[in-house]
């Protein structure tokens, strides 16, 4: 079945896995790593909670963010940073990389077990780590990696057991309750619905959908699992001295709020709108990223060949369907919510690898070549805009050029397509990290003089989403930040009047502060913008890319008369 991927059983597969592990650790502390806007909000809550010296209650400068998530992620951050003594993005993120690599290990074991050899296991793990959703959300300070790990663990264990009618024993049910309870403490009590639903569906399937046998055999165990999980979640409520705020902030606002249709018809919103059912339909391909064509082909082939499907695939498909259905129920839908099903999709991709059309994988390789070429052009544009001479070391240009050629070789050589596609995607992630070198190096940081000046001062910092001002605390430790909303236009006079020091984000070529009166530039750092307003996006599509993509964050002191 896996003859096209058999090469992964030997040194190429081992080297590809080592590459994947390296890619997930490389540049882990980057400010510009692929992430989500919530990460800095969670970092802010962790830092402020650690500053109190207590595990609870959770702290936030914004009331509506106070209990936005259960405490497990914040506790994890407190431990990994030693109560914020080692306050940097690397220490916040590394536990989630461990979670993600552990999940890849589960995928390897399942792929090897179901696919009949090490080649299938390595292939499955490489597919999983090549998914962009996993790379984006599974290595940063978000709930995605631990949530996916603990929710998938029961599915993983059941897949390894020899099939029999009483798959769910009492010891397993109790252990699954603990695993699910940990997942709940990371994300929400609502996850018990996904855990209970998949066990219900699987055990009924194993019993031939005999309701009576299921009611007396498995239903009590699933109920016990759910009770244990919810009891573990309730520890937050029991231990928090401000438990009334948990009810208001998390139960009502954060969870029940996801069913708030703002006066519109719930069923119409399921079928139409920005967060409709169709958002979930495309979420699995979106999470797959460059492997989206392969995942779409997987679903089509599996549906086409469903009558001849292997029995050992069934639980994986049940899990994929369960996650889809459960996270379609709330009115708010997002591809990140479906990440717990991606390990199952990775295993199935490995099992169906030889049946995926070559041209489908060639699309992914062609996309790699295009994006690598785009990075070369972006690096050239940045070098030209900065006007400082060589900005990138020679090996970055060589690497990105070689990657484009490597990917194109996989497109045009049919014998190389299946072998090259996964390493090409992983190398592209590494290429992006290389592209970020100027932003993560001295040009992207404030110098020691600026850091010394900032200590003990209150600084107004621009925010375009969430708690973006938090990033400046990693660069200007010891300062106090006052966020202000980043707008398309700003009044320098209003910033000067309201603040003694501020940071302003400007295009690289902007010289408006050079001769401005009443201010002194303390420091400047290079920044790569990853979130754009609609007018900015339209302007970039017209070809005016550089002023919106590359910015400088200028740190300014306001000079007061008589001071």
* pLDDT per position as a tens digit, 15-53: 999 999 999 999 999 999 999 989 999 999 999 999 999
CATH number of residue 482's parent domain: 3.40.190
Nearest to 123 by CA among 419, 404, 402, 457: 419
Q: How many domains does the chain have?
A: 3
The predicted pLDDT at position 3 comes to 45
Nearest to 135 by CA among 97, 91, 183, 88: 97
**563 within some domain:** no
H or E element in which residue 114 lies:
helix 89-115
Tokens of 485: 């909303």
The predicted pLDDT at position 1 comes to 39
Half-sphere exposure (Cβ direction) of 47: Cα atoms closer than 13 Å: 22
Q: What's the first-to-final CA gap in the chain, in angstroms? A: 78
| Mean per-residue pLDDT, 145-162 | 94
| Mean per-residue pLDDT, 440-468 | 92
Q: Say whether both 240 and 362 belong to one domain.
A: no
Nearest to 521 by CA among 557, 563, 480, 475: 557
Residue that finishes a domain, picked among 325, 355, 385: 355
**416 within some domain:** yes
Tokens 């070689």 map to which residue? 402
Nearest to 283 by CA among 356, 227, 336: 336
| Mean per-residue pLDDT, 419-433 | 97
Q: What is the pTM of this model?
A: 0.95
The predicted pLDDT at position 488 comes to 57
Q: How many degrees, rounded to 5, is the angle at CA 76 between CA 71 and CA 82? A: 125
Q: Say whether both 389 and 464 belong to one domain.
A: no
**455 within some domain:** yes
Tokens 């402020």 map to which residue? 48
Whether residue 2 contacts residue 355, with contact meaning beta carbons closer than 8 Å, is answered with: no
**486 within some domain:** yes
429-432 contacts at long range (C-beta below 8 A, 24 or more positions apart): 429/23, 429/135, 430/19, 430/22, 430/23, 430/26, 430/399, 431/372, 431/375, 431/399, 431/400, 431/403, 432/34, 432/375
CA-CA distance, 242 to 233, in Å (whole number)? 16
pLDDT of residue 5 exceeding 70:
no
pLDDT-derived band at 163 (thresholds 50, 70, 90) equals low
pLDDT-derived band at 381 (thresholds 50, 70, 90) equals very high
**466 within some domain:** yes
Q: Say whether both 79 and 176 belong to one domain.
A: yes
Q: Say whether both 456 and 426 belong to one domain.
A: no
Tokens of 80: 């990994």
Half-sphere exposure (Cβ direction) of 457: Cα atoms closer than 13 Å: 21
Q: Say whether both 331 and 366 belong to one domain.
A: no
Q: Say whether both 366 and 456 belong to one domain.
A: no
Tokens of 49: 């909670």
CA-CA distance, 40 to 89, in Å (whole number)? 10
The per-residue pLDDT for range 394-405, each reduced to its tens digit, is 999 999 999 999
The predicted pLDDT at position 355 comes to 94
**172 within some domain:** yes
The predicted pLDDT at position 489 comes to 62
- What is the domain range of residue 535? 448-558
Mention every residue, 6+ apart, whose C-beta is less than 8 A from residue 515.
none
Q: Say whether both 90 and 190 belong to one domain.
A: yes
3-state secondary structure 173-203: HHHHHHHHHHHHHHCCCCHHHHHHHHHHHHH
Residue that finishes a domain, picked among 387, 417, 440: 440
pLDDT of residue 2 exceeding 60:
no
Q: Say whether both 511 and 466 belong to one domain.
A: yes
pLDDT of residue 361 exceeding 90:
yes
| Mean per-residue pLDDT, 88-98 | 98
Nearest to 107 by CA among 29, 160, 186: 160
pLDDT-derived band at 166 (thresholds 50, 70, 90) equals low
CA-CA distance, 563 to 561, in Å (whole number)? 6
**119 within some domain:** yes
Tokens of 398: 């060589």
* Positive or negative torsion for Cα 354, 356, 361, 362: positive
Instruction: Please list the alpha-helical segments (H only) found in 329-416.
Output: 342-351, 358-386, 394-412
Residue that finishes a domain, picked among 421, 440, 459: 440
Q: What is the mean pLDDT of the chain?
A: 92
The per-residue pLDDT for range 250-285, each reduced to its tens digit, is 988 888 777 766 667 777 777 776 778 888 999 999
Q: Say whether both 319 and 405 belong to one domain.
A: no
Whether residue 48 contacts residue 71, with contact meaning beta carbons closer than 8 Å, is answered with: no
The predicted pLDDT at position 220 comes to 97
**208 within some domain:** yes
């Amino acid at each position: 079945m896996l003859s096209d991927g058999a090469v992964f059983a030997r040194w190429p597969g081992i080297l590809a896995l080592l590459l994947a592990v390296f890619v997930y650790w490389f540049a882990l502390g980057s400010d510009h790593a692929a992430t989500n806007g919530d990460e800095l909000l969670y970092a802010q809550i962790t830092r402020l909670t650690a500053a109190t010296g207590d595990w609870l209650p959770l702290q936030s400068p914004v009331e509506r963010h106070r209990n936005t998530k259960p405490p497990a992620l914040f506790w994890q951050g407190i431990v990994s940073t030693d109560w914020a003594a080692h306050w940097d993005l690397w220490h916040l993120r590394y536990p989630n990389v461990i979670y993600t690599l552990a999940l890849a290990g589960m995928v390897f074991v399942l792929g090897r077990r179901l696919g009949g050899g090490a080649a299938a296991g390595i292939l499955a793990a490489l597919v999983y780590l090549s998914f962009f959703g996993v790379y984006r959300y599974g290595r940063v300070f978000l709930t995605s990696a631990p949530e996916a790990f603990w929710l998938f663990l029961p599915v993983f264990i059941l897949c390894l057991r020899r099939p029999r009618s009483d798959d769910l024993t009492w010891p397993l049910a109790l252990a699954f309750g603990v695993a699910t309870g940990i997942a709940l403490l990371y994300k929400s009590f609502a996850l018990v619905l996904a855990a209970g639903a998949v066990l219900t569906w699987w055990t009924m399937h194993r019993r031939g959908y005999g309701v009576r046998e299921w009611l007396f055999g498995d239903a009590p165990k699933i109920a016990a699992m759910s009770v244990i999980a919810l009891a573990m979640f309730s520890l937050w409520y029991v231990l928090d001295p401000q438990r009334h705020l948990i009810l208001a902030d998390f139960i009502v606002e954060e969870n029940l709020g996801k069913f708030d249709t703002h006066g519109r018809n719930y069923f119409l919103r399921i079928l139409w709108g920005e967060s409709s059912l169709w958002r979930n339909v495309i979420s699995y391909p979106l999470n797959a990223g460059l492997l989206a064509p392969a995942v779409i082909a997987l679903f089509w082939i599996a549906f086409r060949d469903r009558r001849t499907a292997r029995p050992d695939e069934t639980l994986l498909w049940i899990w994929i369907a369960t996650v889809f259905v459960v996270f379609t129920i709330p009115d708010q839908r997002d591809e990140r919510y479906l990440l717990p099903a991606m390990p199952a999709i990775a295993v199935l991709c490995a099992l169906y690898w030889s049946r995926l059309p070559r041209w489908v994988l060639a699309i992914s390789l062609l996309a790699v070549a295009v994006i690598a070429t785009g990075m070369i052009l972006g690096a050239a544009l940045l070098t030209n805009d900065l006007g400082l001479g060589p900005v990138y070391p020679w090996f970055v240009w060589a690497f990105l050029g070689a990657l484009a050629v490597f990917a194109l070789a996989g497109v045009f050589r049919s014998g190389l397509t299946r072998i090259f596609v996964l390493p090409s995607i992983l190398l592209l992630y590494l290429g992006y990290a290389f592209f970020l070198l100027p932003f993560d190096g001295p040009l992207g940081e404030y110098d020691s003089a600026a850091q010394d000046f900032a200590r003990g001062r209150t600084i107004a910092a621009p925010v375009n989403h969430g708690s973006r001002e938090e990033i400046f605390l990693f660069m200007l430790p010891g300062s106090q930040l006052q966020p202000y909303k980043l707008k398309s236009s700003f009044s320098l006079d209003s910033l000067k009047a309201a603040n003694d020091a501020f940071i302003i984000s400007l295009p690289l070529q902007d010289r408006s502060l050079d001769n401005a009166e009443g201010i002194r530039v303390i420091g400047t750092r290079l920044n790569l913008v990853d979130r754009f307003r609609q007018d900015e996006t339209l302007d970039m599509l017209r070809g005016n890319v550089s002023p919106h993509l590359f910015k400088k964050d200028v740190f300014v002191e306001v000079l007061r008369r008589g001071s």
